[in-house]
Structure 1
Amino acid sequence: MNQKHINELFEIIADGSLDAEDIAAMSDEVLKAHTDAVAYLQADTGSQYQESYPLPLWEWVLLEQLEGGLIFHAPQVDALYAQIVDAFGDDELDLTVADLAGLNADAALAKVQEELAPTYSVVDFSQSVAREKQVVLVRTAKLARFLELSAVLGIHAAA
């Protein structure tokens, strides 16, 4: 695992909202979890990670680092979009959560993508342990590199 790849992945997702020191600290956590999962879990007694999860500890730690507005997850698209609206702030997006009512998941996601395009792409990212929809927003201009980095790291990502 290459710290440069993890840093770049975080930089693309953060899109300027985090400084280099924060990104370095986040990637250090991921590398610690990758290098020695047992020691990491012993040191992080508050971790909710379970060995039965369908993803390795380091990926779980990576996802935890994205909490707080960089990753969005919810059982339904309208709830997912409500989180995105909160991250952007009031009056930044024209599409409302109510506009998604009555649409199936695919149609609702298409509407969300249409709202965020051409600047952002909605990317299905990693696996949600709770079987929820889980996405990150990536600048469309950086999407190809993001998908490449995800593949190199072995993380599921699909636009």
Structure 2
Amino acid sequence: MQSQLTELLTCISSGCMKEEDIARIAAEAADAYADPDAFLAANPDVNYDDSFPIPLGEWVVVGSLPDTVLFQADTYPELLEQIMGSFGPQVPFNLKPRQLQKADAVTALNRLQIQLSSMNREAGGYVLLNFSRVLDTELQAVLVYGNDLERVRGLCEALSIYAAPALEAARAEAAAG
């Protein structure tokens, strides 16, 4: 499991995390998955209880990701601002947060995905991926290279961590709703 967690963290961090941080988080999460009681006893400062809708190991992964990797927001403009911030001012974005203010979910995510797909084309662009269960915000996502998408989805499935391309999920929800 630790090797799967390491590979997943490497893919979703897109170079934003140091190898030693990835290894540490993967080891901690693997320990938390393997023996939650022992992990909590060894880490009394961890704020987790059985009321959380995700396993402790997944909670360790999500809670350990920096805000340059895990984006949590209540609105699409906020989400875009966080994504833009993770790239820094040297990376130009054609899309601006105000262009998402009045857009419905599918339209906002389509605009976001078009922008992200045009970036880093040699890696297949970026895909905005809903990641894990949302706990405190409306939106929670990571960016993965388009070339890594299927591998990341496979790893998430193997680890029982929810992951779905955000645009695809919004389209499915709109069609069902």
Q: Which amino acid aligns with 1:59?
A: E
Amino acid at match of 1:140: G
Q: CA deviation at 1:131?
A: 4.8
State the identity as a percent.
34
Query: TM-score, normalised on structure 2?
Result: 0.83
> 3-state DSSP class of the match of 1:29?
helix
Identify unmatched segments of 5+ residues in structure 1: none
| Paired AA for residue 25 in structure 1 | R
Mapped partners of 1:67, 1:128: distance in 2: 16
Residue 23 (structure 1) shift: 1.4
Scaled by the length of structure 1, the TM-score of the pair is: 0.92
Q: Is the 8 A contact 1:124 1:157 kept in 2?
A: yes
Query: Offset at 1:127?
Result: 0.3
Give 1:158 deviation, angstroms. Answer: 0.6
Change (3 A) 1:76 1:50: farther
Q: Check conservation: 1:124, 1:136, Cα contact below 8 A.
A: yes
Instruction: Note the alpha carbon deviations across 1:65-96, whole angstroms, 9 max, x for none.
Output: 21331110111111111111110112522211
Equivalent pairs counted in the alignment come to: 158
Q: 131, 148, 166: which is aligned to 1:125?
A: 131
**Paired residue for 2:114?**
114
Tell me if the contact between 1:150 and 1:156 (Cα under 8 Å) persists in the aligned partners.
Answer: yes
Instruction: List alignment gaps of at least 5 residues for structure 2.
Output: 119-124, 166-177
Structure 1 vs Structure 2 CA RMSD: 1.4
| Contact 1:76–1:105 (Cα < 8 Å) also in 2 | no
Which residue of structure 2 lines up, in the alignment, with residue 147 of structure 1? Answer: 153
Matches within 5 A, 1:4-15: 4-15=3-14
Report deviation, 1:16: 2.2
In structure 1, what is the Cα distance between the partners aligned to 2:21 and 2:50? 28
Aligned to 1:137: 143
